[in-house]
Every structure is written in structure tokens, then in C-alpha cells.
Amino acid sequence: MFLILPSTKSIRPTTMRLLTFALSLLLSFSATAADSRSETETAGGKPNVLFISVDDMNCDLGVYGNEQVLTPNLERLAAMGVRFDNAYCQQPLCGPSRASIMTGLRPDTLDMHTLTHELREKNPDVITLGQLFRQNGYFSARAGKIYHYGNPSMIGTDGNDDPETWDERYNPRGIDSLQEDKITRSRSDSEGKGLGISMAWWDPVSEDSEHTDGMVADKIIELINQKKDEPFFLAAGFFNPHCPYVAPKKYFDLYPIEEITMPDLDEAKADLEDVPPMAVQRDTKKWPYFFDGVTVEEARKCKQAYYACNTFTDALVGKLLDALEANDLIDNTIIVFWSDHGYFLGEKGLWYKRKAFERSARVPLIIAAPGLSQGTVSTDPVELLDLYPTLAGLCGLAAPDNIEGASLQPILTDPENANWDKPAITQIWHSDKAWGYSLRTPRWRYTEWVEGTAGRELYDHENDPEEKNNLADSKPELVARLSKQLKPYIALPTHKRNQ
């Protein structure tokens, strides 16, 4: 069983069994062997992988220091492994981000920048992450959303899934999809429009397992029980907290509406005065909150609902961890928790994703690998496409030669002494006339729009973590240096650029 606790500070660290295992493992190998090993050694042979994804989740989480948002089970997971404080997606849009994660290739390499279902059409020979595990004797299965799905329009279908990735796949459909008519829309949303981009919410009195995500967790638990005696790669694809924001009422009740605050809109508008127009071109016409007529109170309600969805998802993560423990698999399972991109909730008057700012590019990422670092934090900039070589290496599998990420194993082994110097790259593509790239180093975020011809941005995260002051015009030498560092990553195909 798991509990939603009133304070995230009261969560216990990882179980004594895991600590005992880690200690015995460290004592049984020399430091040299630990540094040189190419895979995670476990007591049960080949390590399993539990691959947990969420949709549109930013880092407004208790596990990342926002004490308002209750995430006791993510804190439980972080105590078992490494929390990455500066992890970034390759494009803040579901389709290309997820394709990049599952192939270890950048959106430019895949030639995928939209929500179109075209992974195999454009890359017929690509070996996806789950496919690699299948080829090496693992049972590979998913429940829910791993590749892009329209939410809620594609719930219950295979969406834009890749069948070659999986031995089995499951598409549950809960009341959040079956009873869309009960979802409350803001006044900006017309009844004839889909809910995939919407300011809408619902808090039914319901059980977790009545919802699609609850069914996803139940199916993965069933598969854990069934496959506990063979190596598995199981992917739990949660749709929350993607809009429409739907979760059982008990999670809404944890967030009284009077405790939900919104940024001052005058201050928010001032934040955009020194930003190139292309950086927010999708947002300025109907600013604030993306849609015409959305009130501050409606935005506040959506933020409450978003927080409720995060805690609902956290509870389901707890159920998955409980299932691993019940089957004595914690000591032999690599657990990864990730979101496909970040999300705005009114900061700068913005909502949703598809922006090169930190709140849109940065994602929660937690990895617990048996025998490696526990309860530690990494501040190095890392990329989601690094997950492919990391999991392949930890499991002793040979990844394709062309993958573009780098293994996170040095960080997982010793976050403080990993000697990590790779930047994180996030790109935006709206059209052949509107695109850009953003480079994140430990201190700076530097962004170019159409290679600088449509503007530049530079933010000092040491002194300006909210990216309020664009320093691009005042630091030409630094801009030149970061532009040179970014240049090798600008590889947009010629048919997608008009210069």
C-alpha cells in the first residue's frame, strides 16, 4: 500500500534491503572494477527495466523542491537513485520528443518535427529502444502512451505507436476518455473543439483504476507479476498531466483553490519585452494563457487540476514500486521516470509547451539503477536522448553506432565526479520560416532563432533562473562563443528551412 502524505519531508529513504544489497555489492568489487564495468551487476542476472513516462509534466514537484506539490513516491524513487536537476528534451512537443527518446537520435536526424506518424516511413531501419531489448532476449511491452498519442482523442488506440518496439502493447481507456462530456471547459473552449489543447478539468469522485492511467498502472503490475522470472523491458505510459486535467477528486482536495497562486500579469508581460517575437509567436496573439477570454480564475483552476494530476500520477508510480518490491525485483530492476517536455502554467503569461524557455525544455528525470549511486542529485545538463545508450550500457547491450546521446553511467556512478561536459540542446520548429535552437550549459541558456537572423536570447541561470533578463545584446563575446558551440547541432533538413 502507499499513502499520500501531508508533507513530503516525512517520506522514508529507500528500504533497508536495497541499502544492504548496495553495500554488499560495493564490498564485493574493487573500485577499479566498478569504474570500468559496462553493465549493472545484479544479484538476479540480467537487470530488468521499468520505463515510466508522463506527459507534459514540468518540475513543479515536491521531489524537485516545490513543497506544495505532493510527490512522496517520486521522492521514494529519488532516494533509490539519482535525481537529474538539469535534464532537457530535444524538442518540446510530444511527437518528436518521444521519437528522439526511443531512438537516441535528434529530431533533425529523424526528420521529425511535428505530430505526424512518420517514424518508420522516414527511418525504416531504425532500431528503437524496446526493439533493441527484444533482440536481446527481453520481453518488451507497454501500456499507455510512449510514442505520440492525441490526448484524449487517441486514448484506447495504438496512436502513433511503433509495433516493432514491443512484444505486446495495451491501450486501456478510462472514464477520462469515455465520459468527456463531463469535463468542464473554460469559456474559451467551444463544445465542438477537441480537448487536446484546452483549458479544461474534471474531478470525479472515482477510484484510480477507473481512469486510463490507473488502468495503465494495473496492466504493468499484471505484467510484472507474470514476467518476474524473465528479463523484461516494461513501459508505463501515463497520459497525465496532459490536458484536459482529469484526476479523482481526492487528489484535487489536496490543493485548496485559495492556495493556488498565479503570476502577476503586468510583471509577466514585462518579462517578454526583450524577447525576440519568434520566441513567443504562437502565444502573443491571444496572450495571456494561449486562448481568448481565459480568466485568471479559470487559469487558477487549471493549475489546481494540473497539480492534482501530478499527485495522481505519483500515487500510480508508488503502486509500480510496490509491485516490484512484492516480487523481490527492486534489486534487479533499473527504474527510469521521465517526462517528454516541460510546461508553462502562467509564467510570463504563457501556457503549454513548444517554447525554448527553461520551463518548456526542462523535464523531471530520475534513474534508479541497482548498485549505483543512491539518494544523490546531478546538476549536469543532460538530454533525454541520453537514456538510450544509458539503458543499453547498463544492461550490457550493444547500442547502434549512430545514436547521438551519451551514456549517463558516469553520473549514475558518481554524480560529483562524472567529468560531464556535454551541453543540452533543445530545438523548436514551427515552420520553414520559424525555427530555432537552444543550448544549455551549467550556467547559461543561449538561443538562436533562424541562426540569429530572427533574434537571440541569453539567460544567466546563476542569477536569473526565471529567465527574465535577456543578456544577448550586452555580452557579445559570450554570445559568439556559445553560438560557435551551438553551431554543430544546427542540422535542420534543407526542405524544412527557408532562409
- Assign residue 113 the CATH number of its domain: 3.40.720.10
CA dist 31 and 426 (Å) reads 36
Active site amino acids: 94, 148
Other beta carbons less than 10 A from residue 7's beta carbon:
10
Does residue 436 lie in a domain region? no
Cis omega before residue 152 (within 30°)?
Answer: yes
Q: Which residue, 47, 122, 54, is CA-closest to 334?
A: 47
452 φ/ψ sector (left φ>0, alpha ψ -120 to 50, else beta)? left
Amino acid at 341: H
Residue 435, domain member (yes or no): no
pLDDT in tens, the chain (499 residues): 434 343 333 343 333 333 333 333 333 333 333 333 344 444 457 999 999 999 999 999 999 999 999 999 999 999 999 999 999 999 999 999 999 999 999 999 999 999 999 999 999 999 999 999 999 999 999 999 999 999 999 999 999 999 999 999 999 999 999 999 999 998 766 555 789 999 999 999 999 999 999 999 999 999 999 999 999 999 999 999 999 999 999 999 999 999 999 999 999 999 999 999 999 999 998 999 999 889 999 999 999 999 999 999 999 999 999 999 999 999 999 999 999 999 999 999 999 999 999 999 999 999 999 999 999 999 999 999 999 999 999 999 999 999 999 999 999 999 999 999 999 999 999 999 999 999 999 999 999 999 999 999 999 999 999 999 999 999 999 999 999 999 999 999 999 999 7
User: Would you mind telling me the total number of residues written for the chain in this entry?
Assistant: 499
- Asked if residue 144 is part of any domain, the answer here is yes
Q: What angle do CA 112, 194, 436 make, to 5 degrees?
A: 30
CA distance 213 to 221: 12
Q: Please state the separation of Cα 391 from the chain's center in Å.
A: 16
Cα–Cα distance for residue pair 263/58, rounded to 1 Å:
17
Grid look-up 492525441 returns 150
Distance, in Å, from the CA atom of 218 to the CA atom of 102, rounded to the nearest integer, reads 23
451 within domain boundaries: no
Please give the Cα distance from 201 to 191 (Å, whole number).
14
Q: 463 lies in a domain?
A: no
449 within a domain of the structure (yes/no): no
Give the distance from CA 54 to its chain's centroid. 6
- Report whether 305 contacts 203 (CB < 8 A): yes
Whether 111 and 103 have beta carbons less than 8 Å apart is answered as no
Q: How far apart are CA 10 and CA 491, in angstroms?
A: 47
Query: Strands 232-237 and 139-144, how do they pair?
Result: parallel
- Tell me, yes or no, whether 162 lies in a domain: yes
Residue 288 cell numbers, joined: 495571456
Calculate the alpha carbon distances from 316 to 4, 206, 208, 266, 322 in Å. Answer: 11, 15, 8, 38, 10
Domain extent at residue 390: 8-416
- The domain tally of the chain equals 1
Give the model's pLDDT for residue 187: 73
Whether residue 461 is contained in a domain is answered as no
